[in-house]
A and B are shown apart, each in its own frame.
Chain A
Amino acid sequence: MTTGSAARAPRRGSGRRIPRALHPVAWWLWAVSLAVATTAVTNPVLLLLLLGVLAVVVVNRRTDAPWARAFRYYLGLALTVVAVRVAFLAVFGGDLPTQGVHTLFTVPRLPLPSWATGLRLGGAVTAEGTLGALYAGLRLGCLICCLGAANSLANPKRALRVLPGALYELGVAVVVSLSVAPQLVESVQRVRRARKLRGGPTSGFHALRGIAIPVLEDALDRSLRLAAAMDSRGYGRRGGVSTGSRRLTAALLVAGMCGLCLGAYGLLDGSVAAPAGVPALAAGATLCGLGLALGGRRVVRSQYRPDPWRAAEWGVVLCGLVPAVVLVGRLATHPAALAPSTDPLVWPALPVVPALAILVAGLAAVIAPPPVRAAHRDVGRSAPATPGSPGSPGVTATGEPAPTGRRVAA
């Protein structure tokens, strides 16, 4: 371990802890565990509690980087999902005989031809049906928010760095394409403004050629220059690996993938004997693991300031595992508490043990070290830099604010 990261170790009990970034994989495991827990629940009280826990952790432990502000968009998406789900029920799912007796209102029903059996348009919308849709929608929304929390808490690009060596190229491709998108937007804005200088149209089909061609040429140029730069900086060096070894890696991976597919099919399809699934799955996973390990050996590369894995990381992962284990486990023993009945209508109860388990996940907000924010690292920075970058022609010409050195302190 480097001396620098040792110095950044958390010191508990001696005043404020030193800020550092938690290992991105720890956040992802925490969030995925919560997502697993969510799948076992439709109790709205528990789901709202879970949402609250997610929000508290995100607000307390996110950085001030651009991706860290993404949580609100996931929240918006979740709300949309709930709304769409309920609206769909009102239009398509009304008047089913199993959907209870408490009619809220009736939507005029459209008669459908006889071949469309099972499909209904309109009809009576019942309280039972609506509530069922609301619960299911809320669960889906919660899942989306778990994903959002992971994305806001862990730098997606840093998370890609933990990919096994054999998949490194894949990770680089994703990172590069992520950085190309904003450049493309900038390029489109710049060319559109240039089109105006010729008095040409800037929207509509006729403008497409005048805008698309310069933008695409620009993008192509840029990617060629990037490729040349990466090549001359050593990207893709191979450490004397024989062709035979490379072929073996490929063969192992293909065979492993086949095994995984077969296994998954065997497990999911009831008509295939279950024992056929598990061994195939295991064999496939083993082969893939071998292939990745072998492929990783040919990679000669090191990592700058790798994220350390310490007690805090273990703590956060455990916090996530507790609700997953408790909720999935209790689904078998106490199903009524986790998934309250909507027909007949009952008030959802607040089961104590699952609620406590979910609250445990919230401890991550305390266990994880405080994040590194601009206020911490910008101490002693010199005066704001000259705004504007000539490297990207027309930064000011695109109507974008010229980047200033100033940054909003958290």
Chain B
Amino acid sequence: MIEFDRVTITYDGATAPVLRDVSLRIEEGELALVVGRTGVGKSTLLGAVNGLVPHFTGGRLAGRVVVDGRDTRTHPPRDLADVVGVVGQDPLAGFVTDTVEEELAYGMEQLAVAPDVMRRRVEETLDLLGIAELRARALHELSGGQQQRVAIGSVLTAHPRVLVLDEPTSALDPTAAEEVLAAVTRLVHDLGVTVVLAEHRLERVVQYADRVVEVHPDGTVTSGAPDRMLISTAVAPPVVELGRFAGWSPLPLSVRDARRLAVPLRDRIGRRPVPDPPRSAERQRGATALSARRIVVRYGDVTAVRQVDLDLAAGEVTALMGRNGSGKSSLLWAVQGTGTRQGGSVDVGGTDPGAVPPARARRLVGLVPQTPTDLLYLDTVDDECAQADRESAGASAVGARALLDRLAPGIPGELHPRDLSEGQRLALVLAVQLAAAPAVVLLDEPTRGLDYQGKRSLIGILDVLASEGRSVLVATHDVEFVAAAADRVVVMADGDVVADGPVGEVVGASPSFAPQVSKILAPVGVLTMDQVRLALPEAV
């Protein structure tokens, strides 16, 4: 169905090709999962399938890409629209019209599908994706999972043979991601659509894949059956890591398979005490650094946060979880003092950050927002660091550049912040905020766009912050990240705090929130691979 024949892609001005001599065949009806570290060219590979690379992005493509018998050299993306459907990371950015029904019809209008056929296909697609009740709604008022399903539907109506999905669930909470992935697997199984999918959180999809395509940092690509490929891929979900650790063969890809194989391992681990997660030695839980009482945030007649109490201790990493729209962001912004707050009080060392000017509030509480790039506006990394030092003169003995080197060593100072990787950019913004030496650090969805290694270094950074005696609060959807990084979890639902306690108790006990390792090894209270390695040192 899709054939890459010795494809080499080089972008304009680049010295080395992004993809090098790629030969690849994806058969009809397969679900091919594209894996690789951030920035290795996964998106380039996906873009080449419908000709967006190089027709839209520029650059040079040597070799041949043939999709359903059409060569992308002679067929620009618009002429492949009836064969390949593309769904991106941010569905809202790709919407052309403003209601669900019109969006579903847009692609067909371009393809000149007859009106009665269009009408029928819109109805079928609405049912197929379970969005019939949304038909007349405006696109911007849908939730993220609904938007992503509409985006998938809007390319499906053209009846493409191939569906290309570039990280479709990266912005979604676990439940919404399930909705979208369930829809995708249904398309593969019921309609025989060929799906090419890139995804960071492999634990969600790896069990459905028929083929794994790994993009290596040097631009070469290998592909094969998932259980064979995943023995050696650079990125791997926890279930695979556990399988590799235990030497299971064939490698289990789902919790179900792993649980069957895990019986002896469970016995061995169960006989030993559950080890603490690895933490730096200086990290100690201190006194209360921030105390919020009866926080209320309202927008019009919608109450986002309902009288929430929150205490954050020094030297502790707390995770804030909950589905999209449960009030996590509103709570963070209200506590920091910049966001609106209709009621309640915050106490950080005797001062309410909401009652003092922003320049002083950031010395009490630092916040890294969901889109960290909003904070950056200068041309080089060094300029940003120097500006941050000016903004927080006298607050910290350590300059922003020194902080940045501690968080992410080796970023060249003359680079433009736009050219940094997601993880480096996050570290830069964190350094800018830490220059003000706040005792409390809040991070809103920092794991978006980070691969496993990126998350691992973020976990290290948070550990450093906590061992310096700061209090850290992270809002996130990522269960595996929470299990490895946090000491305590606060779960919000509909503006209320519904759970608050140690990670093992809150996350380990929940059927939907439990990390994979914990699901496989239950009832043993082990949450992460790090703990498994600590528990069985002789097996390493």
Instruction: Please give the residue numbers on chain A whose beta carbons come within 8 Å of chain B beta carbons, in ascending order.
Output: 2-4, 157, 172, 175-176, 179, 190-191, 193-200, 209-211, 213-214, 217, 221-222, 225-237, 239, 300-306, 374, 377-378, 380-382, 385-394, 396-397, 399-405
Chain B residues within an 8 Å CB radius of A305: 101, 105, 115, 118-119
Contact of B299 among A191, A196, A402 (CB under 8 A): A402
Interchain CA distance A222-B483 in the complex, whole Å: 34
Closest CB in chain A relative to B325 CB, distance in Å:
3
CB of B529 within 8 Å of the partner chain: no
Residue pair B329, A396 in contact (C-beta under 8 Å)? yes
Chain A residues within an 8 Å CB radius of B97: 157, 175
Residue pair A198, B338 in contact (C-beta under 8 Å)? no
Proximity bits, B371-394, A CB within 8 Å = 1, else 0: 101111100000000001001100
Instruction: Please give the residue numbers on chain B whose beta carbons come within 8 Å of chain A beta carbons, in ascending order.
Output: 50, 52, 55-56, 76-82, 84-86, 88, 90-98, 101-102, 105-116, 118-119, 122, 133-136, 140-148, 154-155, 158, 171-173, 176, 299-300, 302, 304, 323-325, 327, 329-330, 333, 336, 338-340, 357-362, 366-367, 369-371, 373-377, 388, 391-392, 418, 432-433, 436, 444
Closest 8 CB pairs of A and B: A388-B325, A234-B81, A229-B94, A304-B105, A401-B299, A199-B359, A234-B110, A194-B374
Residue pair B147, A226 in contact (C-beta under 8 Å)? no
Contact of A397 among B140, B147, B370 (CB under 8 A): B370
- Given known pairs A197-B358, A399-B340, the reply for A389 and B330 (CB within 8 Å) is no
Residue pair B118, A199 in contact (C-beta under 8 Å)? no
Interchain CA distance A380-B171 in the complex, whole Å: 29
- Given known pairs A198-B388, A233-B155, A404-B302, the reply for A303 and B56 (CB within 8 Å) is no
Residue pair A196, B369 in contact (C-beta under 8 Å)? no
Interchain CA distance A388-B144 in the complex, whole Å: 7
Chain B residues within an 8 Å CB radius of A391: 90-93, 144, 147-148, 171
Residue pair B112, A300 in contact (C-beta under 8 Å)? yes
Residue pair B78, A234 in contact (C-beta under 8 Å)? yes
Residue pair B432, A400 in contact (C-beta under 8 Å)? no
Chain B residues within an 8 Å CB radius of A3: 116, 119
Cβ contacts A to B, 25 pairs, < 8 Å: A2-B119, A172-B96, A191-B374, A197-B336, A197-B369, A199-B359, A211-B377, A214-B374, A214-B376, A214-B377, A221-B93, A231-B78, A232-B52, A302-B109, A304-B109, A305-B101, A377-B135, A388-B143, A388-B144, A388-B325, A390-B173, A391-B171, A393-B371, A394-B371, A404-B302
Residue pair A302, B112 in contact (C-beta under 8 Å)? yes
Residue pair B323, A200 in contact (C-beta under 8 Å)? no
Q: Chain A CB within 10 Å — which of B93, B114, B147 has the most?
A: B93
Interchain CA distance A235-B309 in the complex, whole Å: 52
Interchain CA distance A302-B377 in the complex, whole Å: 44
Residue pair B78, A225 in contact (C-beta under 8 Å)? no
Chain A residues within an 8 Å CB radius of B336: 197
Chain A residues within an 8 Å CB radius of B340: 399
- Given known pairs A228-B52, A304-B115, the reply for A214 and B82 (CB within 8 Å) is no
Residue pair A229, B86 in contact (C-beta under 8 Å)? yes
Interchain CA distance A97-B323 in the complex, whole Å: 75
- Given known pairs A194-B374, A199-B392, the reply for A304 and B367 (CB within 8 Å) is no
Closest CB in chain B relative to A340 CB, distance in Å:
47
Interchain CA distance A302-B312 in the complex, whole Å: 59
Interchain CA distance A133-B52 in the complex, whole Å: 60
Instruction: List 8 additional A-B contacts (Cβ < 8 Å) besides A193-B333, A232-B85.
Output: A198-B433, A233-B86, A301-B112, A302-B114, A304-B109, A304-B115, A305-B119, A403-B140
Interchain CA distance A179-B106 in the complex, whole Å: 16
- Find the B residue at minimum CB distance from A172: B96
Residue pair A237, B111 in contact (C-beta under 8 Å)? yes
Residue pair A232, B77 in contact (C-beta under 8 Å)? yes
Interchain CA distance A304-B82 in the complex, whole Å: 17
Q: Chain B CB within 10 Å — which of A196, A232, A374, A377 has the most?
A: A232
Chain B residues within an 8 Å CB radius of A397: 329-330, 333, 339, 369-370, 444
Residue pair B112, A197 in contact (C-beta under 8 Å)? no
Closest CB in chain B relative to A297 CB, distance in Å:
13
Closest CB in chain A relative to B456 CB, distance in Å:
24
Closest CB in chain B relative to A237 CB, distance in Å:
5
Interchain CA distance A390-B324 in the complex, whole Å: 7
Interchain CA distance A409-B146 in the complex, whole Å: 22
Chain B residues within an 8 Å CB radius of A193: 333, 338-339, 369
Chain B residues within an 8 Å CB radius of A198: 362, 375, 388, 391, 432-433
Interchain CA distance A193-B94 in the complex, whole Å: 26
Q: Chain A CB within 10 Å — which of B116, B135, B377, B418 has the most?
A: B377
Residue pair B302, A401 in contact (C-beta under 8 Å)? yes
Chain A residues within an 8 Å CB radius of B144: 388-391
Residue pair A197, B375 in contact (C-beta under 8 Å)? yes
Residue pair A179, B98 in contact (C-beta under 8 Å)? yes
Residue pair A400, B299 in contact (C-beta under 8 Å)? yes
Chain A residues within an 8 Å CB radius of B418: 217
- Find the A residue at minimum CB distance from B147: A391
Residue pair A232, B50 in contact (C-beta under 8 Å)? yes
- Given known pairs A234-B158, A236-B78, A391-B171, the reply for A176 and B105 (CB within 8 Å) is no
Chain A residues within an 8 Å CB radius of B110: 233-235, 237, 301
Chain A residues within an 8 Å CB radius of B55: 231
Residue pair A235, B324 in contact (C-beta under 8 Å)? no
Contact of A390 among B154, B171, B304, B433 (CB under 8 A): B171
- Given known pairs A196-B338, A198-B375, the reply for A225 and B88 (CB within 8 Å) is yes
Interchain CA distance A134-B354 in the complex, whole Å: 53
Chain B residues within an 8 Å CB radius of A227: 56
Residue pair A232, B78 in contact (C-beta under 8 Å)? yes
- Find the B residue at minimum CB distance from A1: B115
Contact of B78 among A2, A191, A237, A392 (CB under 8 A): A237
Residue pair A237, B329 in contact (C-beta under 8 Å)? no
Chain A residues within an 8 Å CB radius of B105: 304-305
Residue pair A233, B102 in contact (C-beta under 8 Å)? no
Residue pair A402, B304 in contact (C-beta under 8 Å)? yes
Chain B residues within an 8 Å CB radius of A396: 299, 304, 325, 327, 329-330, 333
Interchain CA distance A233-B110 in the complex, whole Å: 7
Closest CB in chain B relative to A235 CB, distance in Å:
6
Residue pair B300, A401 in contact (C-beta under 8 Å)? yes
Interchain CA distance A200-B357 in the complex, whole Å: 10
Contact of B108 among A191, A226, A235, A302 (CB under 8 A): A302
Closest CB in chain A relative to B328 CB, distance in Å:
8
Q: Chain B CB within 10 Å — which of A179, A236, A386, A401 has the most?
A: A386
- Given known pairs A385-B146, A393-B371, A402-B304, the reply for A234 and B111 (CB within 8 Å) is yes
Chain B residues within an 8 Å CB radius of A382: 133
Chain A residues within an 8 Å CB radius of B361: 199
Closest CB in chain B relative to A196 CB, distance in Å:
4
- Given known pairs A225-B90, A386-B325, A389-B142, the reply for A233 and B158 (CB within 8 Å) is yes
Residue pair B147, A235 in contact (C-beta under 8 Å)? no
Residue pair A394, B369 in contact (C-beta under 8 Å)? yes
- Find the B residue at minimum CB distance from A403: B141
Chain A residues within an 8 Å CB radius of B116: 2-3
Chain A residues within an 8 Å CB radius of B392: 199
Q: Chain B CB within 10 Å — which of A235, A236, A239, A390 has the most?
A: A390
Chain A residues within an 8 Å CB radius of B133: 380-382
Chain B residues within an 8 Å CB radius of A232: 50, 52, 77-78, 80-81, 84-86
Closest CB in chain B relative to A302 CB, distance in Å:
5
